[in-house]
Amino acid sequence: MATKAGKGASRRACLKILAAAAGGVAAGVGGAMTVGKLGRAPEGPWRVLTPEEARLVEAVSEQIIPSDRDPGAKEAGVVHYIDRQLDGPFKRFAEKYRTGLACLAKTSQAMFGKAFEELGWSDQTRVLQALESNKAPKDIWTRPSASEFFGLIRDHSMQGFYGSPRHGGNRNYASYKMLGLEYPRVIGQNRYPDKKG
């Protein structure tokens, strides 16, 4: 059985290749997006997601972009990116997230009798593979389809990891450091100390 480190290493190599092939486009995703109103969620730092939904999104995004010698989605704060964008430019996806996360929780229970966050790494992978291939229980997934929801959360996780930190993800420039990129200097957006001497 593959370990988290083994799976993470191959996924990380794939992520680096994809990011390089995209020519840095992902780093600029949402460059013109604005962030919605503050403080709508009833508890904690969340604007749209409930604390339970946020834990589930974090677990899924960590499966998509796992940590190894470099930070993964969890350390990069991808769940914060997704939550902030669901309160702004991604508002149209908020209900799809709510429904999809509930279906994901039911799928995990149906397949393994546990919450997704309580599953081991390989069982989490199996659940997400079932979603991606649209082989999750059909009686659970109607709208959105399992593969549609997986594609949505995968794409948003990638954006949160590779995009500008000012949108809520890529904490401490995690993906830029991983790829060996300098933080893009955008006139009027970044502040740099004057160099002396």
Helix locations, 44-88, DSSP H: 51-64, 78-86
What is d(CA 147, CA 65) in angstroms, rounded to the nearest whole number? 18
Please choose, from the candidates 89, 81, 75, 6, the residue with its C-alpha nearest in 3D space to the C-alpha of residue 46: 81
Distance of CA 40 to the CA centre of its chain: 21
Q: Helix (H) and strand (E) counts for the chain? A: 7, 0
Instruction: Express each pLDDT in 14-60 by its tens digit.
Output: 454 444 434 333 333 333 333 333 333 344 688 899 999 999 999 99
- Which pLDDT belongs to residue 22? 41
What is d(CA 153, CA 165) in angstroms, rounded to the nearest whole number? 18
- Which pLDDT belongs to residue 113? 96
Provide the pLDDT confidence category of residue 186 given band limits of 50, 70 and 90: low
What is d(CA 127, CA 140) in angstroms, rounded to the nearest whole number? 13
Contact 15, 77 (CB under 8 A): no
Report the predicted TM-score, pTM, of the whole model to 2 decimal places.
0.69
Q: Which single residue is written with the structure tokens 């702004």?
A: 88
Average pLDDT over residues 2-7: 48
Q: How big is the chain, counted in residues?
A: 197
What is d(CA 9, CA 74) in angstroms, rounded to the nearest whole number? 16
Q: Which single residue is written with the structure tokens 């799976």?
A: 7
What is d(CA 52, CA 58) in angstroms, rounded to the nearest whole number? 10
Instruction: Express each pLDDT in 138-185 by its tens digit.
Output: 999 988 999 999 999 999 998 887 776 666 666 666 656 666 666 665
- Which pLDDT belongs to residue 143? 87
Instruction: Express each pLDDT in 58-106 by its tens digit.
Output: 999 999 888 777 777 787 788 888 999 898 899 999 999 999 999 999 9
- Return the structure tokens found at 101: 């996360």
Task: Tell me the residue type at 158.
Answer: M
CA-to-CA dists, residue 191 to 27, 169, 173, 186, angstroms: 18, 19, 15, 9
